[in-house]
Structure 1
Amino acid sequence: MAAEPTSGICAGRVVVVTGAGRGLGRAHALAFAAEGARVVVNDLGVGLDGSGASGTPAGRVVEEIRARGGEAVAHGGDIATAEGAQSLVAVALGSFGRLDTLVNNAGFLRDRMLVNLDEDDWDAVMRVHLKGHFLPLKHAAAHWRAESKAGREVAARVVNTSSGAGLLGSVGQGNYSAAKAGIVGLTLVAAAEMSRYGVQVNAIAPAARTRMTEQTFADTMAAPPGSGAFDAMAPGNVSPLVVWLGSAASAGVTGRVFEAEAGRITVMEGWRPGPTADKGARWTPAEAGDAALKLLESAERPQGVYGAR
């Protein structure tokens, strides 16, 4: 029996989710469909390190959505290429006639300590996470700007996927942390640039049990089926916030970063000016050092980097 939408908060909207064949992306796609959205399910079907490719994961999610009475189509293009990103937008428009929400989620890991991190591993992770956010956002934004300039009302939403590693750093993940930090910067710029066209852009820093985090959460077992217990690390726990951010109900919320884990939602507050000193003239190195040490005494201590002792 098809699952009924719980509220229909996304009824009539067309939503694109990248990396939606498994894990968080799959959970987002199913959740959007359950709320009445028509979904474009993008996934290359690559391995955890980005190797290989298969259209099977995206197709399976499309079948799940259709079996529950929803509408979905698969897209197997590489969204870290201009051609793949353009075709992603084209599939949404060609299949459903519009595009309302873009959820950038695709990614993989190639973890190494910095001294062991190859240039290829750096480039590959930067490409899929950072370029894989930029290109779909660019082409979706161009469509929405054209719609706005043509006098049509736009209530578009973008949800980017950062990480705690991008906010605090994570030992052994220099490439991933840098890419996820870059996504926050991209989110802030896009929110500022696109607001005039009716586009809101936010980011999440999720924590859940997926292929990418199975070692991190190895000790956090899933709740037994039928037990009724809350599975704190289930990917679906993150999706309700993503669905709301991707809906018209989130009007007025843009340029924000949210951490989402289990039953907790946190608004993350980024860099803000802290203690300051102004000499009114150039410092000597010794004076600058003395001033910096005094300022640090009254500054808040940063949170620790993940994995640091």
Structure 2
Amino acid sequence: MNEYVIETENLTKQYGSQKSVDGLNMHVQRGRIYGLLGRNGAGKTTTMKMLLGLTKPTSGNIKIFGKDIGVHSREILPHIGSLIESPGFYPNLTATENLKIFADLRGLKKETYIKNALELVGLPYRDKKLFAQYSLGMKQRLAIALAVMHNPDLLILDEPTNGLDPIGIAEVRSFIRELCDLQGKTILLSSHILSEIAMLADDVGIIDHGVLLEEESLQELELKSQQYIHFTVSDSGRAAQILQNNFHTRNFKINDKNNIQLMDVHIPISSILREYIKQGLDVMDAHLYKEPLEDYFKRVTGGEGIA
């Protein structure tokens, strides 16, 4: 069985001379959460629409469950749940009534499909409140309920926490994580909020101007972020000599007469501190600095940050 649930090869979408998605090679592994991270307009939604057959690629190939989506769409799509844009719910119907319409269209006869989906996102079953009276957060929850109602193997969610308050975001995040960890679902989600991706995703793809710049596990991404040990001392020149003579490293940077950065983060801070003090050096501060993912994103994209 193919380890990739989604695999694209040179996937491109062009509108006139503008490439919305440019030669994208994406690999979404089975049973994991893949976070597609990029600013608004980076090409995330267009990518997801191509995966679902909602818009046709200009060029390139898409395989889902190891099969070409262009050839086997009728076989593949029933096993996918998606949230791309707000579904067309009827404002004068309740959540249960709205889901009943979609359940009938999908041939889902049992009421338990609706009941389970609503309970999963924290909405009441057979409540009398109309969709028109729902808050933005409740509407988003109902959209997610629709995406999971038929118990799909793969979920494709475009900005799933959009419009939710902090409590709603935490609840949806927990629910998405459980879908992956407890039910074994593969999930592709997009976001322009870096902290959301960092808290939820197993693997990350960074997309900018339609180009996939990075694709790796979150753990690998964090290791790529710059790290160094920062020392504030009475004499940074003397501190540098100690690092060179006693720890055999030249991988440091003297900022000024009191501050020095050591890039060899594998050397224990405690060992360095003991040697500094032993040789009469005053130490005012010592800490491990990890570059925030926000700064790494700026560095990779060569531009502004992301929310």
Q: TM-score, normalised by structure 2?
A: 0.34
Q: Which has the higher contact order (CA 8 A, sep 6+)?
A: 2
Which protein has the bigger helix share? 1
Structure possessing the higher radius of gyration over alpha carbons = 2
Give the alignment's TM-score, normalised by structure 1: 0.33
* Structure in which a larger fraction of residues adopt strand: 2
